[in-house]
Amino acid sequence: MLYKTIAKPVLFRMDPEKAHHLTVHGLAAAAKIPGMKAVMNGAWGAPRSEQLATELLGIRFSNPVGLAAGLDKNAQAVEGFSSMGFGFMEVGTVTPKGQEGNPKPRMFRLPPDEGLINRMGFNNEGTEAMAARLARLHSRPIPLAINIGKNKVTPNETAHEDYEQCIRSLYAYGDFFVVNISSPNTPDLRELQHGDELKKLLETVAGEIGRQAQRDGGKAKPFLVKIAPDMTEEQLEYTVHTIQESGAAGIIATNTTISRTGLTHSNAKETGGLSGVPVKERSTEVIRSVYRMTGGRLPIIGSGGIFTAEDAYEKIRAGASLVEVYTALIYKGPTLLKDMNNGLIRLLQRDGLRHISEAVGADHR
């Protein structure tokens, strides 16, 4: 209630990117105050329930709702976000070298559509800065995924080298990795989703993870591939087949869309990736297709337009084992996690299911 009546009106009067940075820096600062993480967890934290605890990728998740990449690009507020009730979180997208990203303004709200358009362009401080920051963490309170990409100036022909460098620099600090080849805001990046370039890129990532695991004497950490919602069914089928063959542990479906169908706000004219409610149906369609194409054998993390427990449950029944939120957090505030997890428990009870895993892909059975 405080978010809707006090914080949100203030933040929504600010430039979206300034509000974004204020939120991240505020959470980072709050986590450093003795006792504040416990206070945040008490106020916002999701209920602990064995019904929602999930084992996936060899990792235990206390609940299936995570934070998508893009909010904490530089891993500045890992402890703060970890105290909000997320089951896991992504940091990044990070590139080998720091870069400014695209010219400002580059983030736009669409309140009546409950959407957000961004054309940030992988603005981040680079792998060296992220590694130093993550090295200072005493522990990873929740599973941490590192979302990796290529620098804008790197041609697609050598893009695999950027992803390889990201793994090499950050392998010690992530529980799993996400290969981002689907942002619409880096020129030609989405071309990496198809053809021999995708095969070469994923072989390179798998090879570097294998080398790092051998060096550390441990099991290779999993990596997933984040795909766009704007592919044709034929393109999607080829991409999914290549991902399966690569040794990737799963798929994140989906990134933002370049579609503008059904929007009412004047900011719809802005270029960039659209997230939020307008991408909800398409991302769920992609989840259904990927689940069907893989026979449910390749884990899926659902992302796109998840604002309620019902939205999350729909994606889970379509085939997602975990889900992620981002835009909903901006529109609904930090009580989102508690509301969503409580709602998931009620939906399981309604359907006579004992555990969230029973709901995964239920619509296909």
CA 72 – CA 89 distance, rounded (Å): 9
DSSP per position, 173-218: G-SEEEEE---TTSTTGGGGGSHHHHHHHHHHHHHHHHHHHHHHTS
pLDDT tens sequence across 83-108: 999 999 999 999 999 999 999 999 99
Q: Which residues contact 84 (CB under 8 A, 6 or more apart)?
A: 40, 41, 44, 45, 334, 337
Q: Using the predicted structure, report yes or no on whether residue 187 has a pLDDT greater than 90.
A: no
**Structural domain for 16, as ranges:** 2-364
pLDDT on residue 206: 97
Return the structure tokens found at 127: 């792998």
**Model confidence at 213, in pLDDT bands (50, 70, 90)?**
very high
94 touches 174 (CB < 8 A): no
CA 90 – CA 252 distance, rounded (Å): 12
DSSP per position, 26-45: HHHHHHTSTTHHHHHHHHHP
First to last CA, the chain: 39
259 as an active site residue: the answer is no
Average pLDDT for residues 326-342, to the nearest whole number? 96
Q: Can you say whether the dihedral through the CA atoms of 357, 324, 63, 172 is positive or negative?
A: positive
Return the structure tokens found at 166: 């990201």
In the chain, pLDDT over 70 holds for what percent of residues? Answer: 100
Going by their DSSP bridges, the two strands 59-61 and 97-99 should be labelled as unpaired
CA 72 – CA 301 distance, rounded (Å): 18
For residue 85, give the nearest of 50, 33, 38 by alpha carbon. Answer: 38
Q: What does the DSSP 8-state code read for residue 257?
A: B
Catalytic residue from among 62, 83, 182, 183: 183
Average pLDDT for residues 150-154, to the nearest whole number? 96
Average pLDDT for residues 233-260, to the nearest whole number? 95
CATH number of the domain to which 43 belongs: 3.20.20.70
Q: How many domains does the chain have?
A: 1
Q: Which residues contact 2 (CB under 8 A, 6 or more apart)?
A: none
Distance of CA 212 to the CA centre of its chain: 24
> pLDDT averaged over the chain?
95
pLDDT on residue 1: 62
CA 219 – CA 168 distance, rounded (Å): 15
